[in-house]
Amino acid sequence: MQNSILLLYFVLFVILELIYFKLADRFNIIDKPNHRSSHTSITIRGGGIIFPISVLVYAMINNFPYPYFVIGLFSISIVSFLDDILTLNNKVRLGIHLSSVLLLFFQWNLFSLNWYCILIALIFAIATINAYNFMDGINGITGGYSLLTIGTLYYINEKLVAFTSPELLIVVGLSLVVFNFFNFRKKAKCFAGDVGSVGMAFIILFLIGQLIITTQNLSYILLLLVYGTDTAFTVLFRKIRGENIFVAHRSHFYQYLCNQLGYSHLLVSSLYIAAQLLLNVALISLNHDMMNYSMYLFLAFISIYLLLRFKLEGKQQLLMSYKY
């Protein structure tokens, strides 16, 4: 892609983001801190709307190469944006999520598989989207982690195996650069909101799905291992403690690091990004041996993660009582 085209995309996304800030300010689309928040000041919500918009721009310029994906993305993004503003009924939100994921399956041509494979894929996809949304709680984490993931996918697409449009990866990456400029800072100008975290989760899910289908290698799921591990074990610990896992909380490890230990948002976000970067480098380095050694990589990271959580939080806090 020519540098002039890249610059045009970048300038367009900056303009669109600034326009959204004006509209959000006018219509009071803001995030007010509460007892579950990891921030202390009122901030514009929904800045991540630039992510689905970037895909729409790409699709319009390129004659809609992935129509079902684009329709699914905008369906799930619209309902997420409305949920940011109005707080929708859970059944409505879940229904749109299911419909959007099924559209994604059409794009992947998954319906030739056995029904139980489709059911497993559906559960995994919905869980991944929600996990990504749960992890969006501090400055820089969603934007930085997503930019790393898109950058890694671009490297794989260019150097290892071509599985998707390089222009799509570049466009999404540019939207993340714009968002990070306003979010990856001590006092964020905006938060991603559900429209941003859910929208980006859907985009990354689509891209990793394309990669797995092309390579027939499930090991690429590990590109989301840090987010997946924190979400899965946080849910497990809450279940062990007898808590309602569907109620909002502040019991993720990254939240403990910020709220209880007092680490800065940007430091914790950077640690999560760095951990995933090391995993990505190790995963790519395995290359042809990826299927053989990815399980060892998975188990090693899980062990380190659990060791850190029990060391810093303690068995009592994790398994018996949790009053953050």
Residue range 53-88, pLDDT digits in tens: 999 999 999 999 999 999 999 999 999 999 988 878
* pLDDT value of residue 39: 53
Distance in angstroms (rounded) separating the CA atoms of residues 306 and 285: 25
For Cα atoms 117, 118, 124, give the angle at the middle one, nearest 5 degrees. 90
Percent of the chain with pLDDT over 90: 84
Based on the number of CB atoms within 10 Å of its own CB, is 88 exposed (0-12), middle (13-18) or buried (19 or more)?
middle
Query: How many residues in the chain?
Result: 324
- How much is the average pLDDT of 121-139? 95
Percent of the chain with pLDDT over 70: 96
- List the domain range (segments joined by +) for residue 26: 3-319
Distance in angstroms (rounded) separating the CA atoms of residues 307 and 61: 48
Query: Is 238 contained in some domain?
Result: yes
Take residue 94 and report the two structure tokens written for it. Answer: 């879940």
* pLDDT value of residue 257: 97
Task: With beta carbons less than 8 A apart as the criterion, state whether 182 and 17 touch.
Answer: yes
Query: Is 143 contained in some domain?
Result: yes
Query: Is 268 contained in some domain?
Result: yes
Task: With beta carbons less than 8 A apart as the criterion, state whether 132 and 201 touch.
Answer: yes
Examine the pLDDT at 148 and tell me if it is beyond 80: yes
- In the chain, the DSSP E strands lie at 30-31, 43-44
Take residue 182 and report the two structure tokens written for it. Answer: 């306003």
Mean pLDDT of the chain: 93
Query: Is 217 contained in some domain?
Result: yes
Distance in angstroms (rounded) separating the CA atoms of residues 76 and 199: 7
pLDDT-wise least confident of 111-125, 132-146, 209-223, 282-296? 282-296
SS3 321: coil
Residue range 19-53, pLDDT digits in tens: 999 999 999 999 876 555 555 567 999 999 999 99
From residue 75, give the alpha-carbon distance in Å to each of 58, 71, 126, 162, 186: 17, 6, 14, 28, 32
Query: Is 77 contained in some domain?
Result: yes
Residue range 254-279, pLDDT digits in tens: 999 999 999 999 999 999 999 999 99
Query: Is 140 contained in some domain?
Result: yes
Distance in angstroms (rounded) separating the CA atoms of residues 114 and 103: 17
Examine the pLDDT at 324 and tell me if it is beyond 50: no
Residue range 171-218, pLDDT digits in tens: 999 999 999 999 999 999 999 999 999 999 999 999 999 999 999 999
Query: Is 324 contained in some domain?
Result: no
Query: Is 145 contained in some domain?
Result: yes
- Tally the domains of the chain: 1
Q: What is the pTM of this model?
A: 0.95
Task: With beta carbons less than 8 A apart as the criterion, state whether 172 and 62 touch.
Answer: no
